[in-house]
Chains A and B, each alone.
Chain A
């Protein structure tokens, strides 16, 4: 089945630790996105990538980093500089449906601080 796989489903971070969230897609999509979701805040864009080896900051990039070395993969690292990392993180990729671009989402990773 084609889709977007995020792992792990749950992740715990200790103080001062960097953690990496995985996002893999087999939809052959060029563009991928990372969002952060907090209760009552909707989704906020962290980083996005239009093509391999290229990415741009979104609205809340501070304390996060990404890489895009392969078309299928867009990992997100939550660094120790992110002081409030507890949130639900969603990865998406962009494809075409009915002649229009649509974003498709993974099932998410819930990150908590120990």
Chain B
């Protein structure tokens, strides 16, 4: 079984401030982890993914995430928020297997204040 918990359904930051969106997962096998972004009334766009190898993963738009096995976490960060980063962010886990099903967290809405 696999699950994802995103801490904080809504995060508000000022433009130029650090963005930190938290994601913890549970998985019985080594996980594949993903962050997706969703702008209003649109589909999901992949920001970054962790599969194996380097635990610090860089994605698009200046975002990065670090896989910490000991903490079962995959938090998303960006050093300096832009207004265009305002969106909903979803963490997802896949524990492998032939059926390849993703389990999503409930999402975190990021607001960026001028």
List residues of A whose CB falls within 8 A of some B CB: 4, 6, 31, 35, 40-45, 48, 50, 56, 58, 88, 90, 92, 94, 100-108, 110
Any A CB within 8 A of the CB of B58: no
A42-B90, A42-B107 known; A110+B101 contact, CB < 8 A:
no
Interface residues on B, range: 20 to 34
Supply 19 A–B pairs (Cβ within 8 Å), ascending by A: A4-B43, A40-B106, A42-B104, A42-B106, A43-B90, A43-B104, A45-B101, A50-B99, A58-B101, A90-B44, A100-B49, A100-B51, A102-B34, A102-B49, A104-B46, A105-B36, A106-B43, A107-B41, A107-B42
Are A101's CB and B100's CB within 8 A?
A: yes
Are B43's CB and A42's CB within 8 A?
A: no
Q: In the assembly, what is the distance between CA of A105 and CA of B107, in Å? A: 16
In the A-B complex, the 9 residue pairs with the smallest Cβ-Cβ separation, listed nearest first, are A105-B43, A42-B106, A43-B104, A42-B104, A105-B44, A107-B43, A100-B51, A106-B43, A42-B107
Any A CB within 8 A of the CB of B105: yes
Q: In the assembly, what is the distance between CA of A43 and CA of B89, in Å? A: 12
Are B43's CB and A40's CB within 8 A?
A: no
Are B105's CB and A42's CB within 8 A?
A: yes
- B94's closest neighbor in chain A, by CB? A101
List residues of B whose CB falls within 8 A of some A CB: 9, 32, 34, 36, 41-46, 49, 51, 90, 94, 98-102, 104-107
Chain A contact residues, majority secondary structure: strand
Q: In the assembly, what is the distance between CA of A41 and CA of B109, in Å? A: 12
- B9's closest neighbor in chain A, by CB? A40
Instruction: Give the residues in chain B near A103, CB-CB below 8 Å.
Output: 46, 102
> How close is B64's CB to chain A, nearest CB, in angstroms?
16
Instruction: Give the residues in chain A near B34, CB-CB below 8 Å.
Output: 102
